[in-house]
Amino acid sequence: MSARSGPPLGFAEALNLPLCVDLRTAARAFGICPATAYKLIRLGAFPCPVLRVGGRYRIPTAYLLHTLGIEERPVYAVPLEGDAAPAVRPHETHAHASEVPA
């Protein structure tokens, strides 16, 4: 049995994947070695749909993320810095015409 092809795929790395990934990347995402991934494909038991493109396997990232339980991508994959999204302060809201003092 061969070793894994790198460390397990992290959450941030998973959100930055292209539309389709190769089998080695998908195997990393599931925490299995590539040999096991090929065996699961031959048995028809790979955890998500697999496309055969020429002589290679490709896994659509949407299926991969769905199988991993990641239903939606966050709007911001990295935290915002500083005042990139300032909050409205209560004293900055506009008063309605009926609230204007006489």
What tens-digit pLDDT sequence spans the chain (102 residues)?
445 567 777 777 777 788 899 999 999 999 999 999 999 999 999 999 999 999 999 999 999 989 988 876 655 556 656 545 555 555 555 555 555 555
Q: Name the strands in the sheet holding 20-22, side by side, starting at the edge strand that comes first in the sequence.
A: 20-22, 56-60, 51-53
The Cα–Cα gap between 16 and 94 comes to 41
Residue 45: CB atoms within 10 Å: 8
Residues forming a β-bridge with 20: 60
Angle between helix axes 23-30 and 34-42 (nearest 10 degrees) is 100
Of the candidates 27, 25, 48, 53, which has an alpha carbon nearest to the alpha carbon of residue 38? 27
Whether the model pTM is above 0.75: no
Domain boundaries, the chain: 7-72
Residue 28: CB atoms within 10 Å: 23
CATH assignment of 7-72, among 1.10.10, 3.40.720, 3.30.1460, 1.20.120: 1.10.10
Place of tokens 């460390």: 7
The Cα–Cα gap between 66 and 50 comes to 13
- Residue 70: predicted pLDDT: 84
